[in-house]
A and B are shown apart, each in its own frame.
Chain A
Amino acid sequence: MRPRTIGRLGVFVVTVAVLGVVVVLSLMVGRQAISPGEVIRALLPSATGDNADIVRGLRLERTVIGLVAGLALGAAGALMQALTRNPLADPGLLGVNAGAAAAVVTGFAFFGVTNGLAQTGLALAGAAVASVVVYLLGSGSRAAATPARLALAGTALTAVLFSYINAVAMKDQQSFDEMRFWVVGSVVNRGYDRLLIALPLIIIGVLLALAMTPALNALSLGDDSAHALGLGVGRARVATAVAITLLCGAATAVAGPIVFVGLTVPHVARMLVGADQRKVVPLSMLLAAGFLVFCDTLGRVVSGGAEVQAGIVTAVLGAPVFIALVRRRTLVAA
């Protein structure tokens, strides 16, 4: 019993250490070669000039946004897999990303909304509406919202919304330029103002997520068993869905739709600490934060020409990892 506890504590310690290394790397590595000493000098609040613009202006902002968005996506992915008891669930599954993107694109194309605050509001509203619609579709008239029905409803809604987004985006050049960000996520130059708008929602989402973990453990036994254990199944499910919506909507508003982070990271977390959601959810947050920042850093230097968006790197790295996980063993259902 004890060695296991230490082992699991060790997992968290190592994860935090790795996260620290990733953050340091993200400040050191970029398209412009700057020595470690100069990077440290550039981080001082009094520093000005090119290095300060690059390190403190560009890189630090990317790192902070990557950490927050990654953390939110990791938590959302873990919650979603637990909620739907579907190990292949991802933040796109419940239509949350699509809802957020559709709302922003609608605002931009038809009402000329370009303001960051308004766009974030739209993204969250879109995410929330999409979640509710999926939940209603999934619940149907009589049957309960089973994982399979929810997943199907989410997939259907996502398909509809992305067709809509594409149709609107094709309408004119300007909205298509703006749209690129809502197709592939990125943490470049998103601005602290957008992050500040989203941060309170992410904090609430994280607290709610952590509070729901014991209930999710019970839910993993199946609705009937959870019910027998005295859990308000419906209420737990709604609370979890609210947390997912907050986390995904806010993360999408800040960094755009980033794929495979919410899908892959929780599997790694479960491999490391088992199926206990009280450990899986926080570990997923840390791992996802590190993973997204790492992907962004890699994207800066991986190609000879331009940078590669973080959203593409997560897909390129995340997909094979995910396939390997699926093939290696029976997936640990959340």
Chain B
Amino acid sequence: MNSRLTRLAGAALAVTVSLALTACGGDDSVEPAASAAASGPFEYKDALGKDIKLDKAPTTVVAQSSVAAALWDAGFQVKGAYGELKPDAAGKLSYQAGSLDLSKVTVIGSTYGEFDTEKYALLNPQLLVDYTFDNKALWYVPAAQSEKILSLAPGLAVPGNYKTTDEAIATFVDLAGKLGADTAAATAAKTEYDSALKAVGESAKTSGLKVAIMSPGTDSLYVADPVQLPEGNTLKNQGLDVISPTNPKNEVFAQFSWEKAVEFKDADVILVDARTYDAAKADLAKVPTWANLPAVKAGQVYPWYAAAPYSYQSYAKIYTELAGELKSAKKLS
């Protein structure tokens, strides 16, 4: 349970960071129009079934970092963000923060459980946006502070789970549009996204590669169930053969004893959780049932950008990279 939560939180972190990275590297010509809000009323039925009605589209929006990153790419610039926004030793945010530009965003909290209510109040927020994973609460809003926080501005919940990345991204583009953003850049990026996906589909069909999505830890092997993952379903729809682990509890990650790793020998390619893999790499090399997996031996282990922000821009990049990897990978069995 604990580790699953950690992974989930990590996912959020990943989203946030990727946003920030894009922000730093990207050109300024496609600056999202944050304050060019539509003048009309704002209406949204959120994932908790709440009808949110505001007289005018809000301009001061604060969002959880992954949500903020997705909105940013969709063309809407938040004023404040909280979530996973702690830079690494090199001062960079993880890929999970996407293109978020922290010089333009007030950081309300930079890790799970951190939310500076005073700083938030001082922004005079008009709307707060966060995921909900349990259909009850906003994900990164600390329960103890939630009453106070939600009294300052209405909280809008976007769903945490989606069938496909298309559906997830569309949700954010739609929300950005309703918030008055110009979503033209996002629409343009969709072309790139679609052709990246097509490239994945082509290499999948010609190579017939079997792919497993994993988050290997030294204590256990976590195998993602593609059916529970938006990107898993999207890739499967493109004809990629993604291995489904035995997963009676229908969780995103099925947890296995390392003894069970030998049952994944048919994977030609392993996509590993980019949030945690680098740190665990050296220790994993000493786990014989990992080191002797054919895909590991063949060096066909590639990053899986778990919890990247749901935007056409970020997933176009991710799928393009994957298509290239699938093209160069060899069928092993």
Contacts and interface: CB of A to CB of B under 8 A. Distances in A.
B279 A176 contact: no
Interface string A194-228: 00000000000000000000000000000000000
A131 B287 CA distance: 34
Given A170-B112, A173-B9, A32 B262 contact: yes
Given A176-B6, A306-B220, A309-B219, A189 B259 contact: no
A178 B282 CA distance: 13
A191 B169 CA distance: 43
Contact of B219 (A53, A54, A186): A186
Contact of B257 (A30, A112, A191): A30
Contacts, number: 98
Interface string B236-262: 000000000000110000111111101
Q: Among the interface residues A31, A59, A174, which one has the most CB atoms of the partner chain B within 10 A?
A: A174
Contact of B289 (A54, A186, A305): A54
A307 B220 CA distance: 8
Interface string B206-249: 00000000000111100000000000000000000000000011
Contacts of B217: 177
Given A31-B260, A50-B262, A58-B259, A173 B275 contact: yes
B86 A181 contact: no
Given A189-B218, A306-B220, A173 B6 contact: yes
Contact of A173 (B84, B89, B257): B84
Contacts of B35: none
Contacts of A181: 218-219
Contact of A53 (B249, B256, B292): B292
Interface string A246-287: 000000000000000000000000000000000000000000
Interface in A297-327: 300, 304-307, 309
A114 B282 contact: yes
Interface string B1-34: 0110010011001000000000000000000000
Contacts of A57: 287-289
A306 B218 contact: no
A92 to B, nearest CB: 20
A114 B279 contact: yes
Nearest to A176: B6
A180 B219 contact: yes
A58 B290 CA distance: 11
A58 B288 contact: yes
B291 to A, nearest CB: 8
Given A305-B255, A306-B255, A174 B279 contact: yes
Contacts of B126: none
B113 interface: yes
A-B pairs, 5 with minimum CB distance: A57-B288, A306-B255, A31-B257, A53-B288, A32-B259
Interface of A: 30-32, 50, 53-54, 57-59, 112, 114, 170-174, 176-178, 180-181, 186, 188-191, 193, 300, 304-307, 309
Interface of B: 2-3, 6, 9-10, 13, 84, 86, 89, 111-114, 217-220, 248-249, 254-260, 262, 275-276, 279, 282-283, 286-289, 292
16 contacts: A54-B289, A57-B289, A59-B259, A112-B89, A170-B114, A171-B86, A173-B275, A174-B275, A176-B6, A178-B279, A180-B2, A180-B219, A188-B218, A188-B219, A188-B258, A305-B255
